A and B are shown apart, each in its own frame.
Chain A
Amino acid sequence: EDQVTQSPEALRLQEGESSSLNCSYTVSGLRGLFWYRQDPGKGPEFLFTLYSAGEEKEKERLKATLTKKESFLHITAPKPEDSATYLCAVRSGGTYKYIFGTGTRLKVLA
């Protein structure tokens, strides 16, 4: 069964304290792994799409990496405005469904 697990559930960081969020997945034929940022009461905002192991993408303080079993979202020198819930999703081959994790709630303290 296709499955996505995100860890940790919640993370508190001091401003400037770098860390990583984990997304472990089990899927039949990966057709994409997606990261989103979601602020309270808003829809998820697209961050990155990764398609194959070894792929990396960066945007400002965020960097996403992908292996055959997991993806990491690295946050370098975070700022309070990076506080949000970060969602991970996968799409498996032969299906139109996207499987979402439950997210990591990130709080960055000034």
Chain B
Amino acid sequence: DGGITQSPKYLFRKEGQNVTLSCEQNLNHDAMYWYRQDPGQGLRLIYYSQIVNDFQKGDIAEGYSVSREKKESFPLTVTSAQKNPTAFYLCASSPDSTDGNTIYFGEGSWLTVV
């Protein structure tokens, strides 16, 4: 099935640790995104990438890092510099072409600091 796969579904981070969330898509989409969702707030953009080997900071990039070495993969690292990382993280992708630009989401990953 075509879609966006995020892993792990649940992740626990100790203070001072870096953790990486995986995101893989087989939709052949050019653009990929990472959002953070907190209760009562809209989705906030962390990073996005329009093409391989290029990415841009979103509205809340501090304490996060990404890479885009392959078209289908866009991993997110939550570093120890992120002071409040407990949240629901959503990876998304879009074709971003004349065929349309609907953005589609993965199932999300829960990150909790312990």
Find chain A residues with CB under 8 A from B43 CB: 87, 89, 100
Cβ-closest chain A residue relative to B107: A43
User: How many interface residues does B have (CB within 8 Å)?
Assistant: 26
**Partner pick for B103 among A34, A45, A102, CB 8 A cutoff:** A34
Cβ-closest chain A residue relative to B48: A96
Task: Report the interface size class on chain A.
Answer: 20 to 34
* Also in contact, A43 and B90, with CB within 8 A (given A101-B42, A102-B42): yes
Q: How long is the Cα–Cα vector from A49 to B96 in the complex, in angstroms? A: 13
A44 touching B41, Cβ below 8 Å: no
CB interface residues, A 70-107, toward B, < 8 Å: 87, 89, 91, 96-98, 100-103
* Also in contact, A41 and B108, with CB within 8 A (given A49-B102, A102-B40): yes
Find chain B residues with CB under 8 A from A41 CB: 88, 108, 110
